[in-house]
Chains A and B, each alone.
Chain A
């Protein structure tokens, strides 16, 4: 993982399906991890939901495509989509370049408190990636 994001990562929660989540009040920003971006190789297309869509935890909210693979995106928590990162549709390379900053995917309005069931902290997630890359 990239060092310049090391501080930020401590604020994130991760899903086993490689999405990350950052809570600011009752808004959750969701993206996919650097590990996921690397293993998908060159991303060519990203499909994200329209604002207003209601998502359950674990529900598919979009997908990312590389030349030779396609992967579903799963929402780590329940909520209502308030914003999608439409810039990614025009330039999918941004997601690869900056998965934790400009490469965020969606923002959800969530009801507090958010259930953390099944989510990992940065250390736990790092260990998961280590097992998957072997």
Chain B
């Protein structure tokens, strides 16, 4: 039997030590009428050879890279992952360890997560970062809950329409039972109009949620938006793209109160949607209202610098229903990947990666407009992805690209009949791939 140790003779000796006649007797606590009484109806067991063959068979029915060149975006991106990220994340001392409650047995993880928190603070300019949340959508929801605690306003949260539609749906799902309205502020021009935003924000609003670059890839007027939120006494929550910060102003530069993100771009494979990495950083004064684990520096009995889980009284295992969040298991291994990734890139590497994405995306947008006649749906500055208008419908555009070996998307519904398709261009895409995509879409 897979992964079991006890031989029949050992089982017998162990049962004798316990004073039980049979294995079955150990389950006497479970009333007979509640037992299953038959084998589970599951597929038959597979040996390692059979399992590998089975998985390879399933994988072969998926179209990954390099059969299809990925221009897909919308929160998950085909960025380059240095080999050292995989090598470190494959250290089983990291990936088979538990949550570092027992500090003496976990200094490796604790220090790595402390470094992760520091790296995220350096990346964003914010005062404090937690040790990870699930992913980008729940990070926005957690920020909204946190804003309610900080402001004492529990009735209204404002979210721009240009925020990822799945993130908006997550926020609505999370808030539906607590009596808090989620007001979506339209962004017909592809970005927010600060005047329209100001009209929605009032003295009941806990926060304004902005994504920058937004779901359409476009740059929001962040300074005006954070000022508008703060003028209404609300917090400015900004969902950012971590890789964009090689080039773009940091959330702290435009006075964000809480900065959240999907951290997948930081060395995490796309793997059909997860596990990814939720980032949450904020002003230092909100630290005791933060969700999720925090690692702190301290000293041990010998005066040696060391690291511990800190401010645990915020968390569910101590504060129970009054905790700042219900999160327990987080995304530790993904945070480790992000830490290694940022350490490898450094400031120069991050800038190079961001510039490459930006240059290639603008080259692609220019070529698609000039040669394929596909104009941008929104005339706004963008970073690494943009929406092309699909005059004959998004499905037809995506299908033409797909037949030529390129994936575009997801689809953007822009109101009315208008449909667009997102095109994301990472540093991995070559000019040749872009040119071939353009050729395939040229009538």
Direct touch of chains A and B (CB < 8 A): yes
Using CB atoms and an 8 Å cutoff, list the residues of chain A in contact with chain B.
44-45, 47, 65-70
Interface residues of B in 37-96 (CB under 8 A from A): none
B309 and chain A: residue at smallest CB distance: A67
Distance A23 CA – B313 CA, assembled complex (angstroms)? 33
A-B contact pairs, 17 of them (CB 8 A): A44-B313, A45-B288, A45-B313, A47-B288, A65-B313, A66-B313, A67-B312, A67-B313, A68-B312, A68-B313, A68-B318, A69-B313, A69-B318, A70-B313, A70-B318, A70-B319, A70-B322
Smallest beta-carbon distance B286→chain A, Å: 13
**Chain B residues, CB < 8 A from A68:** 312-313, 318
Using CB atoms and an 8 Å cutoff, list the residues of chain B in contact with chain A.
288, 312-313, 318-319, 322
**Chain A residues, CB < 8 A from B312:** 67-68
**Chain A residues, CB < 8 A from B319:** 70
Distance A47 CA – B319 CA, assembled complex (angstroms)? 15
A71 and chain B: residue at smallest CB distance: B313
For the complex of A and B, list the 3 residue pairs with the smallest distance between their C-beta atoms, beginning with the closest. Answer: A70-B313, A65-B313, A70-B319
Distance A113 CA – B318 CA, assembled complex (angstroms)? 39
**Chain A residues, CB < 8 A from B322:** 70
**Chain B residues, CB < 8 A from A44:** 313
Distance A45 CA – B288 CA, assembled complex (angstroms)? 10
Distance A109 CA – B206 CA, assembled complex (angstroms)? 31
**Chain B residues, CB < 8 A from A66:** 313
**Chain B residues, CB < 8 A from A70:** 313, 318-319, 322
B288 and chain A: residue at smallest CB distance: A45
B320 and chain A: residue at smallest CB distance: A70
B322 and chain A: residue at smallest CB distance: A70
Smallest beta-carbon distance A20→chain B, Å: 23
**Chain A residues, CB < 8 A from B288:** 45, 47
**Chain B residues, CB < 8 A from A65:** 313
Distance A69 CA – B312 CA, assembled complex (angstroms)? 9
Distance A67 CA – B103 CA, assembled complex (angstroms)? 14
Distance A68 CA – B101 CA, assembled complex (angstroms)? 12
Smallest beta-carbon distance B336→chain A, Å: 26
* Other 13 A-B pairs with CB < 8 A, given A67-B313, A68-B313: A45-B288, A45-B313, A47-B288, A66-B313, A67-B312, A68-B312, A68-B318, A69-B313, A69-B318, A70-B313, A70-B318, A70-B319, A70-B322
Distance A70 CA – B323 CA, assembled complex (angstroms)? 10
**Chain A residues, CB < 8 A from B313:** 44-45, 65-70
Distance A67 CA – B312 CA, assembled complex (angstroms)? 7
**Chain A residues, CB < 8 A from B318:** 68-70
Smallest beta-carbon distance B314→chain A, Å: 8
Smallest beta-carbon distance B346→chain A, Å: 36
B315 and chain A: residue at smallest CB distance: A70
B323 and chain A: residue at smallest CB distance: A70
Distance A44 CA – B312 CA, assembled complex (angstroms)? 11
Distance A68 CA – B322 CA, assembled complex (angstroms)? 14
Distance A65 CA – B313 CA, assembled complex (angstroms)? 7
Distance A81 CA – B99 CA, assembled complex (angstroms)? 42
**Chain B residues, CB < 8 A from A69:** 313, 318
Smallest beta-carbon distance B299→chain A, Å: 15
A44 and chain B: residue at smallest CB distance: B313
Smallest beta-carbon distance B85→chain A, Å: 34
A64 and chain B: residue at smallest CB distance: B313
Distance A45 CA – B313 CA, assembled complex (angstroms)? 10
Smallest beta-carbon distance B438→chain A, Å: 59
Smallest beta-carbon distance B301→chain A, Å: 15
Smallest beta-carbon distance B308→chain A, Å: 9
Distance A104 CA – B288 CA, assembled complex (angstroms)? 22
**Chain B residues, CB < 8 A from A47:** 288
Smallest beta-carbon distance B49→chain A, Å: 49
B310 and chain A: residue at smallest CB distance: A67
Distance A70 CA – B289 CA, assembled complex (angstroms)? 13
Distance A66 CA – B175 CA, assembled complex (angstroms)? 30
Smallest beta-carbon distance B296→chain A, Å: 11
**Chain B residues, CB < 8 A from A67:** 312-313
Distance A68 CA – B314 CA, assembled complex (angstroms)? 10
Distance A67 CA – B319 CA, assembled complex (angstroms)? 11
Distance A47 CA – B312 CA, assembled complex (angstroms)? 16
Smallest beta-carbon distance B328→chain A, Å: 16
Distance A69 CA – B288 CA, assembled complex (angstroms)? 14
Distance A70 CA – B318 CA, assembled complex (angstroms)? 7
Smallest beta-carbon distance B400→chain A, Å: 59
Distance A119 CA – B319 CA, assembled complex (angstroms)? 27
Distance A68 CA – B318 CA, assembled complex (angstroms)? 7
Distance A60 CA – B298 CA, assembled complex (angstroms)? 32
B314 and chain A: residue at smallest CB distance: A70
Specify which of B288, B313, B319, B322 lies most central, judged by the most chain A CB atoms within 10 Å of its CB.
B313
Smallest beta-carbon distance A17→chain B, Å: 16
Smallest beta-carbon distance A69→chain B, Å: 6
Smallest beta-carbon distance A79→chain B, Å: 20
